[in-house]
Amino acid sequence: MRQLGIQLILIVGVLAVAWRLLISYGQKAIALRRLGLLALAAFAVWSILDPQIWNEIAGFVGIGRGADLILYGLVVAFFGFVATTFRRFRDLNNRYTRLARRIALDEVPRPGHGAPPLPPAPPTPPTTSTVKAADAD
């Protein structure tokens, strides 16, 4: 029964990370990421000083070993990294698309603004119905 509790906590953690990363923008999101990094550094220092603490925390939440608890935490952290990287890539892709469109529009020569006039369109070849109508005369 204790495993069900940690499973629910991990699932809620994964969903919370996904939700937070998918909706967060701006300074608040950056501040939360920095606080998370500080907490991770504090836990790393603590685990170096007292490695047995992870086994105690794991036993408290119903996991057999501290190494398993660290693995689950790393899975959640990796998921957060993947979601953040995907979002950044999507935003960069959108930015480059807008930039390419803007450059393309800015480089179009405008008649009457010092640009040479556009050449006339080439004549279109006659179609078969036009040729048949001319032959009927």
pLDDT of 24-60, one tens digit each?
667 777 777 778 777 877 888 888 888 898 899 888 8
Residues 41 and 73 in one domain: no
Whether 89 maps to a domain, the answer reads: yes
Give the structural domain span for 102: 67-110
**CA-based R_g, the chain, Å:** 31
Residue type, 106: D
Indicate the pLDDT class of residue 23, thresholds 50, 70 and 90. Answer: low
The average pLDDT across 1-11 equals 71
DSSP state of 113: T
Whether 19 maps to a domain, the answer reads: yes
Report which of residues 21 and 50 the model is more confident about: 50
Contact (CB, 8 A) for 65 and 9: no
Whether 2 maps to a domain, the answer reads: yes
Distances in Å between the alpha carbon of 110 and those of 93, 103, 104?
29, 14, 13
Residues 77 and 103 in one domain: yes
Reported as a single tens digit per residue, the pLDDT across 64-109 is 898 898 898 888 888 878 887 888 899 899 999 999 999 988 888 7
Judge whether residue 15 has pLDDT over 90. Answer: no
Quote the pLDDT of residue 129. 59
Whether 118 maps to a domain, the answer reads: no
Q: What are the φ/ψ torsions at residue 115 (nearest 5 degrees)?
A: -90, 145
pTM: 0.54
Judge whether residue 132 has pLDDT over 70. Answer: no
Residue 20 in tokens: 């937070």
Quote the pLDDT of residue 116. 61
How many domains are there within the chain? 2
